[in-house]
Amino acid sequence: MQQLTSQALEQMIPQQTKTSILIIGGAEDKVHGREILQTFFHRAGASTANLAIIPSASREPAIQGERYQKIFGEMGAKSIEVFDIRERHHCEDPKWHAYLETCTGVFLTGGDQLRLYSLLADTLLMEKIRIAARQGRLALAGTSAGAAVMGHHMIAGGGSGESPNRSLVDMATGLDILPELVVDQHFNNRNRMARLVSAIAAHPDKIGIGIDEDTCALFEAEGLLRVVGKGTVTIVDTQEMSYTNLVNVGATDPLSVFNLRVHILSYGDQYNLHSRRPSSAPSV
């Protein structure tokens, strides 16, 4: 009982001194253990959590919003508001800005990342969320499309099952929450390695991160991520990349990319974005 109490207390520790950003690869467990959603819930304050759900990426925002509202309500959140933002001017609603003053967690649902970007980018509401998340004043989670928007450069779409090439990936601007990353989701489930390599070859100053379904890259501190969930997180590091033929070939021609460093991380493994070094999960 003492051990369980200690673990519970550890989860309840306020996160003001930490960055709690959760990038989820989509299709997270919403029925059984709900580990990833539980992690977000605890990072946001558990029973004291004031949560905001933003389902704007979805074609059915009301259904998505209600679904997550029910899940976090069952977990015991103190308050939950669905930010029903369907037009850009909805971001100016004073009630959302007032709620952010005491909000401890924001959850971006899946859908269409271009739609999410078009509604939230360059708004005061998004700027407040971004600053609060970076400063560790609230936990921020994004799943699927909500994960794709995390970087400065965003994968907006593309194909799979081909050799890396420029036409395989459509790039756009993201919400700049973690600007050093280019994120791809549903990663191994949809065979998107070539897509991520194509994206990162065009942006070698960034770190590519591919996240499987029901898997989360949890940023616990500045520049440090830990893997939670059932799948893997793939890191594509271009720091030692020595050559690519990207500018010399046609859009559909295969890309050459030399000296990429790739890491495959599973449950509990960590990666430091500053040192570019992975570390394994502690032995049990």
Helix (H, G, I), strand (E, B) or coil at 107: strand
Q: Which amino acid is at 269?
A: D
Q: Which of 28, 42, 58, 213 is catalytic?
A: 213
Which one-letter DSSP state was computed for residue 144? T
Residue 79 CA, chain-centre distance (Å), reads 23
Q: How far apart are CA 208 and CA 201, in angstroms?
A: 10
Output helix, strand, coil percentages for the chain, rounded to the nearest 5. 30, 25, 40
What backbone phi and psi angles, to 5 degrees, belong to 68?
-75, -30
Contact 80/134 with Cβ under 8 angstroms? no
Encoding tokens for residue 105? 């967690």
Tell me, yes or no, if 118 is annotated catalytic.
no
Q: Which of 20, 56, 58, 144 is catalytic?
A: 144
Tell me, yes or no, if 35 is annotated catalytic.
no
Q: Which of 186, 203, 263, 283 is catalytic?
A: 186
Tell me, yes or no, if 213 is annotated catalytic.
yes
Query: Which residues belong to the active site?
Result: 144, 186, 213
